[in-house]
Amino acid sequence: MSRFQQQGAVEYDGRIGTLVPGYAALHQTSAAWLKATLPAQARVLVLGAGTGAEVLALAQQNPDWHITALEPSGDMLAVARAKCAAAQRHNVAFVHGYVEDLPVAEPFDAALCLLVMHFIDTTAAKQQFLHQAAAQLAAGAPLLLCDLMQGHDIERTAMVHYAIGQGLPESQGEALRRRLQTEFFALSEAELALLAQQAGFRQPEVYFRALGFAAFVLLKTE
């Protein structure tokens, strides 16, 4: 997608908080959940690391963790690398590619996947993605997953009003509404639960919600 390439990657940090209600709180809550549950020298996989907002925060707050940041957009990954280099964070390994490109080696203690899977356009591809994520995790390890979920029209309308209130030009409101309908491939919570079970996870449990976005903990079965 063009918004994740070149100038879109450079501008990503400036626009994402406008479009995703509770964006900062989502990252803070996710980091707190991991901090509360993982060991001092945890191995953490970030799927779809983007421009590295959560990667840098996790690396700074947990200097003894080893974090692998996986991102298919080279331009987004370059921004993430630059952030961590500027902050002198050396506990992050960057991988350009997809989850299937990762070798199945020492399993990770946790994985984080925020605002990624809703861009995968078919149920079969989502299922494959979750299977591949599970293959990277130790038994009992959590996958923290946040996506835009299926919702009512009033919820999508509220999301547009939220974005306008955060600075999106009102003239772009209708375009945002169309993108929410055509560029996101949202699941219901029941559909997510079924895919999670088929991929080897327990029942997803909600830990964050803001308008149409919801975040879940998926624990890999023993």
Instruction: For residue 79, give the CATH number of its domain.
Output: 3.40.50.150
| Structural domain range at position 135 | 2-219
**According to the model, what pLDDT value does residue 1 have?**
46
Mean pLDDT of the 31-50 span = 96
Q: Which pLDDT does position 212 carry in this prediction?
A: 92
Q: Rounded to an integer, what distance in angstroms lies between the CA atom of residue 113 and that of residue 68? A: 12
pLDDT of residue 222: 76
Instruction: Give Cβ neighbours of residue 207 (< 8 Å, ≥ 6 apart).
Output: 29, 30, 33, 144, 215, 216, 217
Residue 3's pLDDT band (cuts 50, 70, 90): very low
Q: Which amino acid is at 188?
A: S
Q: What is the pLDDT of residue 193?
A: 98
pLDDT score, position 138: 97
More confident residue, 105 or 162: 162
Domain count, the chain: 1
Angle at which helices 53-61 and 23-37 cross, to 10°: 40
CB-CB contact of 113 with 143 (8 Å): yes
Spell 43-65 as b/e; 16+ CB within 10 A means b. bbbbbbbbbbbbbbebbeebeeb
For 80-119, how does the pLDDT look when each residue is reduced to its tens digit (9 = 90+)? Answer: 999 999 999 999 999 999 999 998 789 999 999 999 999 9
Cβ density class 80-110: b for 16+ within 10 Å, e for less: bbebbeeeebebbebbeeebeebeeeeebbb
* 21 bridge partner residues: none
Q: What is the pLDDT of residues 163-215, one digit of tens each?
A: 999 999 999 999 999 999 899 999 999 999 999 999 999 999 999 999 999 99
